[in-house]
Amino acid sequence: MAAWARAVRGLLLDISGVLYDSGGEGGGVPIAGSAEAVRRIKASGLKLRFCTNETQATREKFVKKLQGLGFDISVAEVTAPAPAACRLLKERGLRPHLLVHDDLVPEFADVDKTNPNCVVIGDAAENFSYANLNEAFRVLIGLEKPVLISLGKGRYYKETDGLKLDVGAYMKALEYACDVQAEVVGKPAKAFFESALAEMGVPPEQAIMIGDDIVSDVGGAQQCGMRAVQVRTGKYRTRGGGSAKRHGKKQGWPNEVSWRKKHNMMVPKNRSESPGPFKCYKSWETEERASMGDKKDIPI
């Protein structure tokens, strides 16, 4: 076993696009093999933390849905942006105008929302109406010092009926209109990953982030000193556009290879198989060959 593999003690798993595709009547569809993979990760003795930017529901509701889809997951294992945002709001005496999904509102029950002095934006989905966007804009532009807090900066995600714009796109719209820069709570914010690592009790060099978003998951984890894997499920796309262009495409991106069986946790795949969960990229193979530490410049 390669040195880098022996050094791994904890895994951070993205959920949407990695474990399941959201949307549709039942709230989503598990990605084949993912529930079994979670069980094997847990059985392996590795520490595990679910790291999600999911903001269409409270953690309680979200976890209940995932349990219903067959996942071994509990609320205590989930790091999500809304609780982090609530801490930040209270610390700074901020009273938010919320542009979020109806089902997320209960997370902000204990926060003073009268006479708003900031705007909090999440993946509001159908609440991203013309009227609601104008309302949030008017609150923001009317502030002496506009403060925009965004629960993530994802570009888009995949639901069962197709790709959808994520909160990052709407965050950019408000940033541009008000000439402000949003404070991002959630991935890829460093504080968010650090919080998840602290909750696991694992240092960054012994943890791996697995996600389908090259910026929020892979980029964010790297900036925190972790390594990261981008899976080919969820929103993964083989060609440019999207965020993939920004990270490593020029560095030989991406040739899929199998991820060697490790800690008995990963689904072993070979090149001929169709894309599935827990596949990764050439740089992983390269890194494995070179052994950890020899190639510091490898992007993941």
Which residues are at the interface with a copy of itself (CB under 8 A)?
Answer: 125-130, 133-134, 137-138, 141, 144, 146, 155-156, 162-166, 168-170, 172-180, 237, 239-243, 245-246
Query: Cβ 79 to a copy of itself, closest distance in Å?
Result: 24
Report CA Rg, the chain.
Answer: 19
Closest to a copy of itself by CB, 76 or 131: 131
Give the β-pairing of 207-211 and 183-184: unpaired
Query: Cβ 124 to a copy of itself, closest distance in Å?
Result: 8
CA 195 to chain centre: 14
Establish how many alpha carbons lie within 13 A of residue 44's alpha carbon, considering only the half-sphere containing its beta carbon.
21
Closest to a copy of itself by CB, 79 or 117: 117
Query: Cβ 6 to a copy of itself, closest distance in Å?
Result: 37
Residue with tokens 């060697």: 260
Closest to a copy of itself by CB, 240 or 268: 240
Q: What are φ and ψ of residue 284, in 5° steps?
A: -60, -50
Nearest to 33, CA basis, from 284, 273, 285 = 273
Closest to a copy of itself by CB, 243 or 258: 243
Closest to a copy of itself by CB, 137 or 276: 137
Query: Cβ 179 to a copy of itself, closest distance in Å?
Result: 5
Query: Cβ 228 to a copy of itself, closest distance in Å?
Result: 19
99 forms beta bridges with 121
Say if residues 97 and 133 touch (Cβ distance below 8 Å).
no
Establish how many alpha carbons lie within 13 A of residue 116's alpha carbon, considering only the half-sphere containing its beta carbon.
21
